[in-house]
Structure 1
């Protein structure tokens, strides 16, 4: 006669249905990228529209509060269920979202620099070290892994390596010029390589799964942020800077053509991928306007900013609704 097992449940890998914390995803940090991106976009519009300053400060406070909450949950998950974190790390798609943690720190540092330069520098340094380590770790995993399939490749793969381009935006102002050029160079190398791979995947293979299709908007971010980094380091708007900014506009036009399909898709946390690229394009447009005196780019920056605000408000509503319905932190 067999006896029921008296072995206590494994605290490391719990049954999927019993622990929401175990399934708390690293993709929640994409929300922070969106909120801090909105903070910076509102701040970038202040020279033309001074009333945006108060809105920028408010969004920054909200972003910091959510950063603390999200980090608290994810740290608790890492301590309670480390195997679940390891599972995300070895997932071919989710691993690309780990650098959103350090990118959020870099964006936070940039946002708080005007309030507390010393604190901003320490946060920036932590973000730089973390971003460098995660970039090497993720790319090493890519080139040493032999079971990736074409379907695993999405624009989210830009996040680990191309995210390095955020480093120079504040780094140049802090005086870390060579470090800024180092990360900028790494960004450009991987942008060209990954853009080629992603375009090949989009043109010659099956469409991206509906859950991940919103990551298409990430195509806008690399050239827009690269423009900001380049002008931060050089202080000039030359031909190369214009190529970067206009590349962002071209990708934005391609994304606009996908809006009818996006409107039909169900909500998922991947929808937050819409926010930061729009913020980057708005900031880049405002920055070009300030350096070149272009009223047209100031108008573009404001239009994109309005769209960004509407998108973020919609995402906050949909995310809150999904949480209330227990539709997040579920096994996939």
Structure 2
């Protein structure tokens, strides 16, 4: 009588590492594309930023395609491993990082490659809508989640919805952009309440996931950029969104000493995109309101973002070389 054998268990070490290739790797693509857009925002006042953003864009696109290709191979070769990630209470929230990275790529393509931007935006928007419904349905299904499963990474589906209008309005999809923006804002408010309750009244976030605390910055920062695209002006609600992002940034900055003592994991890439989002928002406000203070903030955060991306990239390559990544947890 034959028994079922786990393909990963009998595979070579290289193939086993493929089966453990985490969906969290898509956070790398989010961070790199965030840097591209931050440099693009700085290009209005810094002559060297625009050409640099083009070079970073091509590098980020290659990395994104490599990550997507490897994860597709994992899906084809080890579908059970992908299902296990989907059923994981923490990793589930990282699946929309795929479509968030796609939407960021579409936004980065708007100037030079408008037709490609449209195609990527449509693909990303459809995928984001499907993943949002699937993830939220998973949250409210018969499965029981514990408070310990809740981290700021749960914001990722909401952030993805709010990103849709950033390129969507410029592509002419206003009503669809409002639909995704509205859903993203509502889910952000609900999840913010849950996350703050978890942070205040329950056990601290595990060290491995503590860097996800930085994700608190992203939703209001991205929402500010998206809202400006939708309404075309800086009104009181826009001020609330931008300044909420600054408040969360200060809260995160206070936690920096604790963050720097933690060992490296892929969750450290959670630092990159939120800082990029706030940098982009600062440059946008500086340009619209002619605010020198916000322009200086943008420069400072752009410098910090470059250091963060460089450090994370080097540390990730080192971890890959040491085979510390793609291992069983």
The bucket for the TM-score relative to the shorter chain is over 0.9
- Match of residue 88 from structure 1: 85
CA distance in 2, matches of 1:206, 1:176: 43
Does residue 1:283 correspond to 2:314, yes or no?
no
CA distance in 1, matches of 2:166, 2:114: 14
- Match of residue 28 from structure 2: 31
Q: What is the number of equivalent residue pairs in this alignment?
A: 327
Preserved CA contact (<8 Å) 1:172 1:233: yes
CA distance in 1, matches of 2:142, 2:95: 17
- Match of residue 226 from structure 1: 223
Does residue 1:108 correspond to 2:105, yes or no?
yes
CA distance in 2, matches of 1:31, 1:145: 32
1:320 to 301, 314, 317: 317
Preserved CA contact (<8 Å) 2:99 2:160: no
Unpaired runs of 5+ residues, structure 2, are none
Does residue 1:205 correspond to 2:194, yes or no?
no
1:133-212 → structure 2 map (5 Å cutoff): 133-212=130-209
- Match of residue 120 from structure 2: 123
- Match of residue 14 from structure 1: 9
- Cα drift, residue 53 of structure 1: 1.0
CA distance in 2, matches of 1:87, 1:224: 32
**TM-score (normalised: structure 1):** 0.96
CA distance in 1, matches of 2:217, 2:293: 19
CA distance in 1, matches of 2:141, 2:156: 19
SS at match of 1:144: coil
- Cα drift, residue 71 of structure 1: 1.1
Does residue 1:252 correspond to 2:287, yes or no?
no
CA distance in 1, matches of 2:4, 2:83: 22
CA distance in 1, matches of 2:10, 2:201: 39
- Match of residue 95 from structure 2: 98
- Match of residue 42 from structure 2: 45
CA distance in 2, matches of 1:15, 1:261: 40
CA distance in 1, matches of 2:176, 2:230: 11
Q: State the Cα RMSD in Å.
A: 1.4
Preserved CA contact (<8 Å) 1:102 1:127: yes
CA distance in 2, matches of 1:214, 1:161: 18
- Cα drift, residue 267 of structure 1: 0.2
CA distance in 2, matches of 1:94, 1:181: 28
Preserved CA contact (<8 Å) 2:118 2:171: yes
SS at match of 2:178: helix
Unpaired runs of 5+ residues, structure 1, are none
